[in-house]
Amino acid sequence: MPGQHFEIRDERFAKLILPGENIAVLWTGGRWAEGPAYFAKGRYLVWSDIPNDRVLRWDEASGAVDIFEQPCRNHNGHTLDLEGRLIACEHRGRCVSRYETDGSKTILADSFEGKRLNSPNDAVVKSDGSIWFTDPSYGIDSDVEGDAAPMEQDGRHVYRIDPSGAITRVVDDMKQPNGLAFSADETVLYVADTGKTHFPDCAPKIRKYPVLADGASLGPGEDFVYSDAGLFDGFRLDTEGNIWTSAGDGVHCFAPDGILLGKILTDEVVANVCFGGRERNRLFICATSTLRSIHVNARGLK
C-alpha cells in the first residue's frame, strides 16, 4: 500500500516525501550492494556488488542492467570528480583509483607514510578538487570483500588526496570510518562510524568535523547523530542540508540540526544511497541484494 514504507517522525519529513511514491526495485541478484554513483550526462548509475567482485551499470532510459566491470578488485564506494570521471574505492586493490576519459585507470592513493592502506571504503570530492576517503578494515578482514591481510596502518582513518597528489591523514579518532559527505558550504565534513562491527561499545553514528580555514584540515570532531536501527554506512545530503543515510531498516533522514525527520523503510539492510535522475530528486538505494529507487521532494547536492 502506498505510504506504508514511510515513517514520519517530524512534520518536516512530510514535505520531503511524495506520499504516493512507491519504492521501485530496479534490480536484484547481488550479495552486498554498495557504492552508487549517478552519471547525469549518460543517465546511468553504477554500483558495486562487492563479494561478487563486480561493478554493475543500470541504464535509466531502458532500465537494463549490465556488467560495468568484473573482476574489479572488489570496488566499494564510488563518486565523480569535478570533471565527471569515476572515482573508485577498491578493497582488493587497497587503493583509490580514477577512470580516465581514455579508458585507462590511475591509482590516486594506495599507501600512507610508506604503509599500505587498509581498504578504502567511500570517497567524496570537494570543490577544490581534493578527494577525501575513509579507510576501514572491512576489505582485509576476510576473503569475502577483498583479500585477508594484516593491517599495516595503526588504525582506521580518513585521508585527503590533494590535487597535487599529496596525501594527508585528516581524521584519526574513529573506529571504522565509513560513509562521508560535506555540508553544502563545505564547512563541515560528516563521517559515519560503523565501528560497532569490531568494537561493541562503539555506538553507530555520524560524526561531524569542522573544516578549517585552509580548507584542507579538520578541527576536533563531535558525535552528530546516532542510529536506532543498525549501522549508518553511506549517505548523501540534499540541497537543504538534510542527511539521507543508509541504516539497518532503510533510509533515515536527519535535519541539519540532527533531528530524525523520518525513515524510508525497506526489508533489506541499506548500505548506501545517492541522488540522481533529471531533477536529481530520485534517491537510489543500495539494499543488500537489490538496487532500488524512490522519487522524493528534495534534490541531492552535486
Question: Which of 17, 93 has the CB closer to Mg ion?
Answer: 93
* C-alpha distances out from residue 154 to 94, 121, 157, 168, 196, Å: 15, 17, 9, 15, 18
What are the counts of helices (DSSP H) followed by strands (DSSP E) for the chain?
Answer: 2, 27
Three-state DSSP class for residue 79: strand
135 lies in the binding site for Mg ion (CB under 5 A): no
CB of 196 to Mg ion, least distance (A): 14
CB of 156 to Mg ion, least distance (A): 12
CB of 192 to Mg ion, least distance (A): 8
Q: Which of 233, 238, 249, 268 binds Mg ion (CB under 5 A)?
A: 233
Q: Which of 121, 176, 266, 281 binds Mg ion (CB under 5 A)?
A: 121
Which cell goes with 97?
583509483
Question: Which of 232, 254 has the CB closer to Mg ion?
Answer: 232
Distance CA 56, CA 141 (A): 24
122 lies in the binding site for Mg ion (CB under 5 A): yes
CA dihedral 56, 105, 176, 189 (to 10 degrees): -100
Question: Which of 233, 268 has the CB closer to Mg ion?
Answer: 233
119 lies in the binding site for Mg ion (CB under 5 A): no
Distance CA 81, CA 199 (A): 33
Question: Which of 69, 135 has the CB closer to Mg ion?
Answer: 135
Give percent helix, percent strand, percent coil of the chain, each to the nearest 5. Answer: 5, 45, 50
Contact letters (x/-) for Mg ion, 159-178, by CB under 5 A? -------------------x
Return residues touching Mg ion (CB under 5 A): 121-122, 178, 233-234
